[in-house]
Structure 1
Amino acid sequence: MRDVQSERDKRNIAIDRVGISSLSWPIQVLDRSNGTQDTVANVSLSVLLPRDYRGTHMSRFIEILGEQEDQVTFHNMENLLKMLQTRLDADEAHADFEFPYFITKKAPVSGALGRMRYDVRFFAELKGSKFDLITELTAPVQTLCPCSKEISDKGAHNQRAHAKISVRMKSFMWIEELAEIADSCASAPVYSILKREDEKAVTEKAYANPRFVEDLVRELAIAMEKDHRITWYSISVTSHESIHNHDAFASVERSKN
């Protein structure tokens, strides 16, 4: 049977990335409390296509993914990319996994347990033999406006915010650790279950720790700088302002090499 994809192309244009995207796929990721956690990822896989190849073999992406036994971790991502390089005769390979991850959090006073959703992304590249992996966590947190607190006789406006933390690591780091860093730097954490005594505690904690988005992004940067496992980080904080008709944001990116 004629292999059209393998035919030579004479237009002399290499394609930076060609592959599959928007693939829903069951995966298993490492969970600090339970060993592993099952979730469903939105997956993109791609390779660099040489200028003299007409096309790639799309079905091979699915075949290779299916051979990974569903587990996607810091430790086996490079092997996945090596298989893509070999089976698709490519110098570069890329993988992008985006998925919801759930962490059980305990309410601060009652101890009520509830699951919090965090959005996680693994983006990996293998260029020749050079491997690169970025781990990204988006965490819901709370910010309370320092200016509002300062000028108001009673109360201050507060709101949910999202802290997006992307890191390159030289050694393993739990997803839960990134979530804990986000909580510790915010005005207060966000919980899925709060009793009245918990709401009081969380409200008072936020009031005692006012944060602009600028404050939060700087506190997160300090935490990244202190962690020897992190070699590069990018942080973006978006505050969904409760009394303004806009969001507020701040971002920073640094390499520690």
Structure 2
Amino acid sequence: MKNRDSAVCPLPDIGAHVTPGPAGQLDWVGMEGIALPVCFDAGDGNAQRSAAKVDAFVNLVRAEQRGIHMSRLYLLAEAHLDRNPVDAPSLEKLLRAFLHSHEGLADRAHVRIRFDHLVRRPALRSHNQGWRAYPVSLEASISEQGFQFELGTEVVYSSTCPASAALSRQLIQRQFAEDFPAGHPLDHASVLAWLGSEQGIVATPHAQRSTACLRVRYAHGAPLQLIALLDRVEHVLGTPVQTAVKREDEQAFALANGGNLMFCEDAARRIQRALENDAAITGFKVRVAHHESLHPHDAVAYASGGSLDRLEPLLPSSSNAA
């Protein structure tokens, strides 16, 4: 009965009608936060399935058209992302399908996919391992200028303040001068015990958890190597946060922090230099934030390289989560 009624009385399509109000072209129309599963290979050959949030858009060039066909965008995204591992070629194919489904209505399309990717990380000294979840944002657009693809991610690391370290060393020197006055003989055992005591090490520099937000544009045809990018950035930063930690790992981490003092400016320049030397990357933006333990505010630095059209400030990936 329902099929017979539908054949006799087609369902109304109000969106296809002429707009009853002011006419005008629209930059983007679509949906944000579509829940879909995606399959992603981070460059190690092990494709991982993750729960993602997808934003799908086209523009609307026909000024008198009231709306687009949002259900078409949803169904195309669901079909393409379910069948194909997500990468630059698969997203270009999806965007072309968006435009084909809106022929005559749109000439630009955009998609953004956000999810977490798990990477197995070894401990610093012990034989343990643990998982790190890295936020990933894949953005692709197609227009008369062609296809563009960008990868966003975030690295969390520890930063020890150089100024605080210098001030702490001065206080330790002052305490040493008080406890071991000049002209008095020094006893090796006493000094060694002093160095291992809270009385001797009277001050420690402040360190804080810090984040580096990255957005990179890859050259056409370049492979998508998320893990290689993460490894390169974590290597130049020197003190990425850890997963499984025994006492020997914590001691190794303390040693690494002590030999790796940095301001946010230092961290931004290290990443900038590392990405500039990657031939597969044509443009990038970096935002580093040291979430100060001394202040209630953050110390932040930005860096960039190559050509990247979007100039708005980067935000932490967690703030973009739906």
> Aligning the two structures, in what range does the TM-score lie when normalised by the shorter sequence?
over 0.9
Match of residue 7 from structure 1: 17
Is structure 2 residue 238 aligned with structure 1 residue 158? no
Match of residue 87 from structure 2: 73
Bigger fraction of residues in strand:
1
Given that 1:161 and 1:239 are in contact with CA atoms closer than 8 Å, whether structure 2 keeps it comes out as: yes
**SS of the counterpart of 1:68?**
helix
For structure 2, list consecutive stretches of 5 or more residues without a partner in the other structure.
1-9, 170-202, 309-322
Q: Per-residue displacement from partner, 1:90-137 (whole Å, max 9, x unpaired)? A: 200000111111111001111311000111101111013610111001
Report the alpha carbon displacement of residue 21 of structure 1 after superposing the two structures with TM.
0.8
**SS of the counterpart of 2:272?**
helix
Q: TM-score, normalised by structure 2?
A: 0.76
Match of residue 52 from structure 1: 64
Q: Aligned partners of 1:208, 1:75: CA distance in 2, in Å?
A: 43
Q: Per-residue displacement from partner, 1:1-30 (whole Å, max 9, x unpaired)? A: 332211233733111110011111111111
Report the alpha carbon displacement of residue 187 of structure 1 after superposing the two structures with TM.
4.2
Given that 1:24 and 1:43 are in contact with CA atoms closer than 8 Å, whether structure 2 keeps it comes out as: yes
- Residues 93-102 or 151-160, more deviating: 151-160
Report the alpha carbon displacement of residue 79 of structure 1 after superposing the two structures with TM.
0.5
Q: Per-residue displacement from partner, 1:142-168 (whole Å, max 9, x unpaired)? A: 111111111212432111111011100
Report the alpha carbon displacement of residue 41 of structure 1 after superposing the two structures with TM.
1.0
How many residues get paired? 257
Q: How does 1:171-250 map to 2 (within 5 A)?
A: 171-250=222-301
**Match among 137, 143, 155 for residue 139 of structure 1:** 155
Given that 1:141 and 1:182 are in contact with CA atoms closer than 8 Å, whether structure 2 keeps it comes out as: no
For structure 1, list consecutive stretches of 5 or more residues without a partner in the other structure.
none
Match of residue 128 from structure 2: 112
Given that 1:85 and 1:91 are in contact with CA atoms closer than 8 Å, whether structure 2 keeps it comes out as: yes
Q: Aligned partners of 2:224, 2:35: CA distance in 1, in Å?
A: 25
Report the alpha carbon displacement of residue 227 of structure 1 after superposing the two structures with TM.
0.4
Q: Aligned partners of 1:102, 1:189: CA distance in 2, in Å?
A: 15
Q: TM-score, normalised by structure 1?
A: 0.95
- Same amino acid, percent of matched pairs: 28
Q: Per-residue displacement from partner, 1:34-80 (whole Å, max 9, x unpaired)? A: 52011111111000012121101111111101221523213311001
Q: CA RMSD in A?
A: 1.6
Bigger fraction of residues in helix:
2
Report the alpha carbon displacement of residue 192 of structure 1 after superposing the two structures with TM.
1.6
- Distance change (3 Å), C-alpha of 1:256 and 1:49: closer
